[in-house]
Amino acid sequence: MRVIVPLQAVVQGRGGLVLGSLIPCALFYFLQLYIRRDRRSSSASNLPELAPMPRSLSRSLLSPRGSSGPARLSSRGASVARDDDNPYYVGLKRCAEDPYHHSSNPRGFMQLGLAENWLSLDMIRDWLVGNVKEPLLLDEEGELSIHGLATYQPYDGLMDLKMAVAEFMGQVMQGSVSFHPSQIVLTAGATPAVETLSFCLADPGNAFLVPSPYYPGWDRDIKWRTGIELIPVPCRSTDNFSISIAALELAYNQAKKRGVKVCAVLVSNPSNPVGNLIDRETLYDLLDFVMEKNIHLISDEVFAGSTYGNDRFVSVAEVLDSENFDRRRVHIIYGLSKDLCVPGFRIGVIYSYNENVLAAASKLARFSSISTPTQCLLISILSNTKFITEYLKVNKEQLCDMHALFVDGLKRLGIKCASSSGGFYCWADMSMFIQSYNEKGELKLWDKLLNEAKINVTPGSSCHCIEPGWFRCCFTTLTKQDIPIVMERIHRITESN
Amino acid sequence: MAKKGVPLSEMATSDTHGEDSPYFVGWKVYDENPYDAASNPSGVIQMGLAENQVSFDLLEDYLEQHPQEFGWGCGVSSFRENALFQDYHGLKTFTRAVALFMEQIRGGRTQFDPQHIVLTAGATAANELLTFILADPGDGLLIPTPYYPGFDRDLRWRTGVNIIPVHCNSSNGFQITLRALEDACAGAESMKVRVKGLLLTNPSNPLGTTITRPVLEEILDFVAHKDIHLISDEIYSGSVFSSDEFVSMTEIVESRGHQERERVHIVYSLSKDLGLPGYRVGTIYSYNNEVVTTARRMSSFTLVSSQTQKMLASLLSDKEFTENYLRTNRERLKKRYEFVVEGLSNAGIRCLQGNAGLFCWMNLGELLEEPTVEGELSLWNLMLHEAKLNISPGSSCHCLEAGWFRVCFANMSQQTLEVALMRMKDFTEKMKAKQMISSL
């Protein structure tokens, strides 16, 4: 069982628990002192070539030294180059190599590990066929001109797209809140959005508190290059994996004791991987918490438009609108990959109420700008609010149907799911089928599901869930006909356990 | 930026974004008062942006003949596939097309394996990515001066890596010498900075010159001897006026039977040669498998839109189009360059002899009140606010000799260029007259 304590990230290094925690902490302290002294003296000299930012030495000690041989990689590079044995990525790879197809490859791997929505793409395609006939290259006079598409544009996105996205976000939140284009920075996907925002809010060695289980991708997206630590704050099945402020408080104090500065709380709403929604009261509590600690709140709302069930989605933006909270500490991550089913086009959003964050993020956006023609295409699609309203409605209905079918199928196998109202997956409890009630047992089951049943699901341990046996199962890349096949394959494994 | 309120990171509040440098300040002044022949003839003419607009008509002709490619880029049947496609390897047809295009630029003298191509959203991202991969915070990258001002931001900001300038000067046409490389390394050592690589821009920005074969050979020997990496930013390789004057680092590597190739990485993009900076298409080409794997993983932060990849795959694979484009583009750039140099010469301004790029490197040393950075910036300011011309001062490019400026000529129409040269002439005449008077 992975040690879910604040030292987890530290322990992932090669050193032992003691060395792995004491030495970097000590070095961190000493380095801070050294850097403070050094910065004062170096500012006097006129050396623009020296980088102004201090970095924690402990990072490079923990990660392995660069690869051996000529022309080594940096420590950062080497740790990325190492093959990822995280089941989340292993499963994705296996599936990609031998994907299921109902007629041409019926024995292939069925992909339940990728949160992509294939259910409503045809709606978008049909709309495009019917509406975007001319190329996107006509200028104001209707003349063919590549100028507008080809030349340098603002790195943080065209204003027209920001306006269209703001409008779309308002529609997604069902008109309960309006978004302002001037508070948007666009990036090539939500992946760089969350990394860029992280760079703005925290320094290397600082930490975010992240209620767990959480999306495995964050371990890469946020930690890799920023040097920020993610501290999982466990949620429990007894209250359907809801966020506990008491647990956040505990984690915050534990971090403080270690000398680690917590800069933000990062939540996903609807939750990935559980699929539950954060209720209004908890949002208030979260805002109170971050205000009291003088830290930030990042709300990743990429699945906001992909909800079903009876609970209404409440964005943190809606709560801010109605109350007098300090908005400067609230930031929303959004994107079109989930709700509009176009992950390939790379459209991500940082929505912030903090003008300094927006200023910094818009400059950082140069490293991950969206291709102009793609922006133009999206402007066309999003501007048709009638189509979008219809699309959002039908998409939700389809999600609801698939979710019901899938959860029902699992129920018949004796597998219960956490109660969820959003996302592309369900959070299934298969703990009764694991041989030993720990991470090892869970991974054994995962392995069987992957390599024997050829079903790729995401084990809870990849998501830092402290209760073994939970699995995230995505159903949005399946057709209705695939579901019985999935259930039958799962049954083969569970009945033998 | 105000630091009170909720704390932000050092990065957000530092000024390593470099946008207070004259290079960017000039852009802002232009943005507030941009020249337009009809509506704003006394506005600022932008000569500080290396954008290529001279061959748009060729792209537009292609579009007219292949409208479906520039529509929404995906046929009906492949829309779904395209919309979902986020494979870091990139669209096969596209990476193959990019490889082919890069080969064409080099006259078929080297081969590029599409599997070694990593796509990024622009060369800006490619250079930053490589820096993250090859160097740790506090390490150093050697960069010959003068260099593209954006490097100060792109290579240092988030990476925490230092730039160690390798100073070149006009005594030999700003060519890189072994002595300069050694001096830079020694300087780094004395500052206890570990040098991890050398980044070249070839053809050079801002010089507008190609690096000769003997110098390239010397550089490869140097990096091998120091056991460091070599990044060759060749984004202007297709903008060399005579195609046989460009020698790519890949040619040197291949001529040595691929020895030392593990340390060589090429950066390319479609922003300059193809005039498509808005499309955000950059690439890293590395012979080193570990670098390719790592870069590919990290490219998750900077993927190229699948729609864009699809759109451009056909265009770049069309050999007839690309050959014609490359040839015509080169001719036009050459013509522009000669026109500018002549115009500047009429104004009594000398330029470095260039053979590539979208700009020329001119010397206004005679007009400086004092041969210092302050003198240079004072002249730059005058040119910006009086002559309403935004050019880039050499000090922004870390040139040690005061008085050099980069002038871009491909981002405007011929008419605008004529107006700009006229203003330049008037300005220099005025300055010279002033000098004469004050010396009396």
Res A136: pLDDT: 59
Q: Which fold has domain A138-384?
A: Aspartate Aminotransferase; domain 2 (3.40.640)
- Which whole number is the average pLDDT over B138-157? 96
Give the residue-averaged pLDDT of B177-195.
Answer: 97
State residue B327's pLDDT score. Answer: 94
**pLDDT tens by residue, B230-240:** 999 999 999 99
What rounded mean pLDDT belongs to chain B?
92
The C-alpha atoms of residue B432 and residue B347 are separated, in whole angstroms, by: 11
pLDDT at A60: 30
* ipTM for the complex shown: 0.91
For residue B308, the chain A residues in CB contact (below 8 A) are 371, 373-374
Distance CA A102, CA B35 (A): 61
In this predicted structure, what is the pLDDT of residue A68?
43
User: Does CATH number 3.40.50.12170 belong to domain B85-318?
Assistant: no
Q: What is the pLDDT of residue A142?
A: 62
Q: Domain coordinates of chain B in residue numbers?
A: 10-57+322-433, 85-318
List of residues 6+ apart from A112 with CB closer than 8 A = A425, A455, A456, A457, A473, A474, A475, A477, A478, A486
Structure tokens at B145: 């001066």
d(CA A477, CA B370): 69
% of chain B beyond a pLDDT of 90: 78
Contacts of B164 in chain A (CB under 8 A): 49
Domain locations along chain A: 84-120+389-496, 138-384
pLDDT per residue as tens digits for the range B365-405: 999 999 999 999 999 999 999 999 999 999 999 999 999 99
Q: Which of A70, A149, A221 sits opposite B262 (nearest CB)?
A: A70
Residue B12 three-state SS:
helix
Pick out chain A residues at pLDDT < 50: 1-17, 34-69
Most B CBs within 10 Å: which of A49, A75, A380, as the mutation test of the B interface? A49
pLDDT at B67: 74
pLDDT at A138: 60
Question: What's the pLDDT at A83?
Answer: 64
The pLDDT of residue B227 is 95
The hierarchical CATH code for the domain B10-57+322-433 is: 3.90.1150.10
Tell me the whole-structure pTM to 2 decimals: 0.87
Q: Which of A70-74, B9-13, B250-254 has the highest mean pLDDT?
A: B250-254
pLDDT tens digit sequence for B266-318 = 999 999 999 888 999 999 999 999 999 999 999 999 999 998 998 899 889 99
The answer to whether the Cβ–Cβ distance between B278 and A149 falls below 8 Å is yes
Chain A: closest CA distance from residue B152 (Å): 8
Q: How many CA atoms lie within 13 A of A42 on its CB side?
A: 15
B148 is catalytic: yes
Distance from CA of B236 to the nearest CA of A (A): 16
For A338, the closest chain B residue by CA position comes to B84
Compute the nearest-CA separation of A242 from chain B (Å). Answer: 27
Q: Which residue has the higher pLDDT, A440 or B57?
A: A440
What is the distance of C-alpha B201 from the center of its chain? Answer: 7
Residue B49 has pLDDT above 80, yes or no: yes
Tokens at B436, concatenated:
């004469």
**What pLDDT does A139 receive?**
62
B235 is catalytic: yes
What one-character-per-residue DSSP string does B304-347 give? PPHHHHHHHHHHHH-HHHHHHHHHHHHHHHHHHHHHHHHHHHHT
The predicted structure's pLDDT at residue A100: 87
User: What gap in Å lies between CA B320 and CA A339, rounded to an integer?
Assistant: 41
CATH value of A84-120+389-496 in 3.30.1450.10, 3.90.1150.10, 3.10.20.30, 3.50.50.60: 3.90.1150.10
Measured between CB atoms, does B416 come within 8 Å of chain A?
no
* Length of chain B counted residue by residue: 440
